[in-house]
């Protein structure tokens, strides 16, 4: 299998990109990511490259190791709360970081800007969903769904409160399981599901968290 480097155009077999330990580790980390996220993540990492020099494999490895756990669990911690960030949100954030409107100062020094972008994307999504739900409540179930779609566009038609709760619960269930796996991998104390879930009650409320607990427990029992 041959690959072409999107930065320098170097064309070589995959083994050439994994000739040292750092390269092999980066390849393994990329393989862990959800489908379609790996290459945008690598393009983002290149924003850390010093002027007129290439980013070292060791530095790229460290940067990827900082990102992968949050991408895998589909959540970040920022501004004193947890934010659900599925793969689609990471893709939007990585793409935004490559656009002129991002106005980033290169080279990047940390992931702080990226995480602020993620928070902004999630906040906008929550606001759109809440507005759609409120319009639906005011105007009646079916009429409200149609009005919400007309006002807010076709991207989020007929969103209701139950659907939003269920979506958050499914994403949170995956986050709870990934946090257990992450703590085991890092050889940290592992809490039970309820212990991890407690971290999210203030943010998402009891209804979402309790549903996420049931979903996570069912997934673990089925595994």
Same domain, 119 and 177: no
Same domain, 63 and 103: yes
Q: What pLDDT is attached to residue 53? A: 82
Only one residue has tokens 């983002």, namely: 44
pLDDT in tens, 162-217: 666 777 788 888 888 888 887 888 788 888 889 888 887 876 788 888 998 999 99
Same domain, 125 and 188: no
User: Rounded distance, CA 34 to CA 87, Å?
Assistant: 7
Same domain, 142 and 175: no
Q: Which of 48, 30, 40 has its CA nearest to residue 6? A: 40
The token pair at 206 is 């009891």
Residue 108 banded pLDDT, cuts 50, 70, 90: very high
Same domain, 200 and 146: no
Specify the 3-state DSSP secondary structure of 78. strand
Is the pLDDT confidence value at 107 over 60? yes
Domain boundary among 159, 189, 206: 159
Name the residue with higher pLDDT: 221 or 9: 221
Same domain, 218 and 118: no
Looking at the structure of the chain, the number of domains it has is: 2
| Average pLDDT across the chain, whole number | 78
Residue 71 banded pLDDT, cuts 50, 70, 90: very high
pLDDT in tens, 139-176: 665 454 444 444 434 443 333 456 667 777 888 888 88
Domain that holds residue 205: 160-223
Q: What pLDDT is attached to residue 1? A: 43
* Bridge pairing between strands 2-4 and 11-13: antiparallel
Same domain, 98 and 169: no
Residue 133 banded pLDDT, cuts 50, 70, 90: low
Same domain, 138 and 201: no
Domain boundary among 132, 159, 186: 159
pLDDT in tens, 2-31: 444 544 444 445 555 556 788 889 888 998
Q: What pLDDT is attached to residue 19? A: 61
Same domain, 164 and 150: no
Residue 179: phi, psi to the nearest 5? -65, -35
User: Rounded distance, CA 162 to CA 6, Å?
Assistant: 43
């Amino acid at each position: 299998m041959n690959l072409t480097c999107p930065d320098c155009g170097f064309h070589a077999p995959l083994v050439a990109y994994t000739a040292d330990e750092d390269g092999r580790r980066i390849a393994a980390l990329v393989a862990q990511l959800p489908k379609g996220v790996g290459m945008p993540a690598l393009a983002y990492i290149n924003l850390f490259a010093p002027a007129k020099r290439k980013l070292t494999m060791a530095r790229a490895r460290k940067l990827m190791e900082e990102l992968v756990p949050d991408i895998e669990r589909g959540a970040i911690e920022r501004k004193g709360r947890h934010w659900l960030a599925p793969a689609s949100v990471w893709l939007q954030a990585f793409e935004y970081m490559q656009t002129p409107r991002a106005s980033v100062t290169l080279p990047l020094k940390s992931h702080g800007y990226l995480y602020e972008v993620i928070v902004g994307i999630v906040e906008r999504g929550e606001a759109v969903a809440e507005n759609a739900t409120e319009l639906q409540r005011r105007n009646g179930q079916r009429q409200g769904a149609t009005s919400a779609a007309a006002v807010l566009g076709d991207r989020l038609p007929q969103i209701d409160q139950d659907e939003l709760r269920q979506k958050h619960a499914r994403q949170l269930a995956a986050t709870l399981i990934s946090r257990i796996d992450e703590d085991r991998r890092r050889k940290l104390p592992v809490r039970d599901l309820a212990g991890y879930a407690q971290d999210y009650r203030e943010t998402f409320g009891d209804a979402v968290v309790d549903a996420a607990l049931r979903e996570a427990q069912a997934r673990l029992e089925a595994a």
